[in-house]
């Protein structure tokens, strides 16, 4: 399975930050707004794509899918990954202004947990507990984590 290259991860992270800001300014969970800002910032990436052609085509498919209200793309793992990112990050953007939410628990599928690096990520602690990431973090998961979910965590949920 191909993985995102370091430059791709940085590009995705920067594009997520830009798109989160666009959603926060609009103050409502507009997935198309997020997708457009994300794509415009070069965030749609095909793992391992060196030339950028496959990523550019993915960006077009992503915008078409979000504009058309498509929720899943089971035949296209790259598109499904980006659709999931749009869904997750749009909600995450609004959580940044919600004082009740302190972070997100990374819930990984069992198949991903078979990889040692993924298992380590799931047990990583940022001070909120294992597998809980601060809400200001931008986590770019590798394709081996496809199917992961982020569950909002409140201060009440954190064990002292």
| Tally of domains in the chain | 2
Whether residues 107 and 147 share a domain: the answer is: yes
pLDDT-based confidence at residue 3 (cuts at 50, 70, 90): very high
Whether residues 11 and 80 share a domain: the answer is: yes
Whether residues 40 and 21 share a domain: the answer is: yes
Q: Which domain holds residue 107?
A: 101-157
Q: Is residue 44 part of a domain?
A: yes
pTM, two decimals, is: 0.92
pLDDT-based confidence at residue 127 (cuts at 50, 70, 90): confident
Whether residues 53 and 125 share a domain: the answer is: no
E strand or H helix that includes residue 102: strand 101-107
Task: Return d(Cα 25, Cα 132) in angstroms, integer.
Answer: 26
Q: What is the pLDDT of residue 113?
A: 82
pLDDT digits (tens, 9 = 90+) for 32-59: 999 999 999 999 999 999 999 999 999 9
Tokens of 26: 């609009």
Q: Is residue 1 part of a domain?
A: no
Task: Return d(Cα 147, Cα 81) in angstroms, integer.
Answer: 8
Q: Is residue 40 part of a domain?
A: yes
CB-based contact 79:58 (threshold 8 Å): yes
Task: Return d(Cα 43, Cα 16) in angstroms, integer.
Answer: 7
> Other CB atoms closer than 10 Å to residue 60's CB: what's the count?
11
């Amino acid at each position: 399975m191909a993985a995102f290259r370091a430059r791709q991860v940085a590009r995705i992270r920067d594009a997520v930050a830009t798109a989160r800001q666009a959603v926060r300014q609009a103050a409502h969970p507009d997935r198309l707004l997020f997708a457009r800002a994300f794509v415009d910032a070069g965030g749609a990436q095909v793992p391992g794509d060196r030339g950028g052609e496959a990523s550019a085509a993915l960006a077009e498919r992503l915008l078409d899918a979000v504009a058309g209200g498509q929720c899943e793309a089971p035949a296209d793992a790259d598109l499904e990954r980006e659709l999931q990112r749009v869904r997750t990050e749009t909600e995450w953007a609004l959580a940044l202004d919600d004082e009740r939410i302190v972070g997100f628990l990374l819930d990984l599928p069992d198949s991903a947990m078979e990889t040692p690096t993924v298992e380590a990520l799931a047990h990583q602690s940022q001070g909120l507990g294992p597998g809980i990431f601060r809400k200001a973090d931008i986590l770019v998961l590798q394709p081996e984590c496809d199917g992961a979910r982020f569950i909002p965590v409140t201060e009440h949920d954190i064990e002292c």
